[in-house]
Each structure stands twice: as structure tokens, then as C-alpha cells.
Amino acid sequence: MHSVFTEFAINSKATRQDVERAAHKLLCCPGVEGVELFGSIARQGYGNDVDLILIVSDDLAQEFIFHVHRLLETKRYRHDQGKGFYGARALRRVAAAATLGRKKFNNIYAHASKWTTPHLIEVFLFPADWRKQLHELQAIYPHRDPEFMKKIAKDAVVLLDGKDRHPSGCVCEVCGGLG
């Protein structure tokens, strides 16, 4: 009995391969210029937290910040103010959709999620040079852990950049099979 549950716990984790497929799908979203991974899956190759950084232009990164703060003021997400940026999961996803185009992003996100189910994909929209702005980003995205951004930078690995985007109309299992 013990081994069955242990196996299930291991099998239900997302793997680096699952995440790479999801990342490929997210790269199909206009405005996404690259994808980086941090957290447990970046460190050990599997885990429960699919923490992805979507690299966007400086303008879109600013827009994401605007939407995060705008949403924090709404009745629906006001309770997220105490959670800090990492805890505000749904809010980050809604802010990403508002930044990248709601319909397009939500559709691509839903398809990307099929590779990591039951684990939700966590999205952060950062500019390409985010590693040079850890202090500023930490200030903009308050977190209980004052080293939060530094820890992300320590873990983060580049999964894909713009050159990895498949041509439009690609029918591989990531682009085609799942829409």
C-alpha cells in the first residue's frame, strides 16, 4: 500500500519534458519572446510547481505590472494583497491574459496546461534583462521573502527563445495535436 501511494506521488509530478512541451505551446502566443523555468523542476527535473517566466518586451512587461496592480485594487483580488506576488496565482494569470490578449492567451494557456495537468502553470511576465533588475522587480512585486527575486535568478534556466518557435501551421504534437 505504501509503495502504491509513493509511486502515485512521484508519477503525478510534472517532469521537465512536460514543462518543455507546455513552454513550446506558450511560445506560440504573440508577444512571448522566450520561456524560462525556475523552482523545483528547474532544480531536480520534476516537481509540483510549474514556474515559468514568459519573456516579453519592456513595454509588455510594464503593462503586466500595471495589470497586476490594477487587479489588486479590484474587489475580486483585493484579498491577494496579503499573499504577495507568488501567492496571487489567478491574478497573475489574468494579468498575463490582459497583457497578451485575453482570448489568444487563454486558449494557448489551456492547451499548454494539458501537458502539466494536474499542475497549474504559474506565469510571470518579465523583460529579457530581468536578471539585471532584481532589486526593482522585488520592489514592484512585493513578497514575504525579501530574497524572492534573487532566488528565482539562482534557479532560472532558459528553456526556449524566439528561435525555437515553430513555424505557423506546424502540426507537431505540441502545435498541431493540441491546437
Cβ(126)–Cβ(55) below 8 Å: yes
Among 170, 177, 178, 179, binds Zn ion (CB under 5 A): 170
Is residue 172 a contact point for Zn ion (CB under 5 A)? yes
The nearer residue to Zn ion, 139 or 170, going by C-beta atoms, is 170
Q: How far is the CB of 24 from Zn ion (least distance, A)?
A: 7
The nearer residue to Zn ion, 82 or 167, going by C-beta atoms, is 167
Would you give the binding string for Zn ion spanning residues 114-153, x where CB under 5 A is met?
A: ----------------------------------------
Size of interface with Zn ion, in residues (CB under 5 A): 4
CB under 5 A: which stretch of 56-64, 83-91, 114-122, 170-178 binds Zn ion?
170-178
CB under 5 A: which stretch of 4-12, 135-143, 157-165, 166-174 binds Zn ion?
166-174
Contacts of residue 90, Cβ cutoff 8 Å, sequence gap at least 6:
77
User: DSSP 3-state assignment of 47?
Assistant: strand
Give ∠ CA 40-43-91 in degrees, rounded to 5: 35
The nearer residue to Zn ion, 24 or 92, going by C-beta atoms, is 24
Give ∠ CA 156-159-161 in degrees, rounded to 5: 115
Is residue 175 a contact point for Zn ion (CB under 5 A)? yes
Helix-, strand-, coil-residue percentages of the chain, each rounded to 5? 55, 15, 30
Give ∠ CA 86-35-17 in degrees, rounded to 5: 95
Is residue 179 a contact point for Zn ion (CB under 5 A)? no
User: DSSP 3-state assignment of 93?
Assistant: helix
- Footprint of Zn ion (CB under 5 A): 166, 170, 172, 175
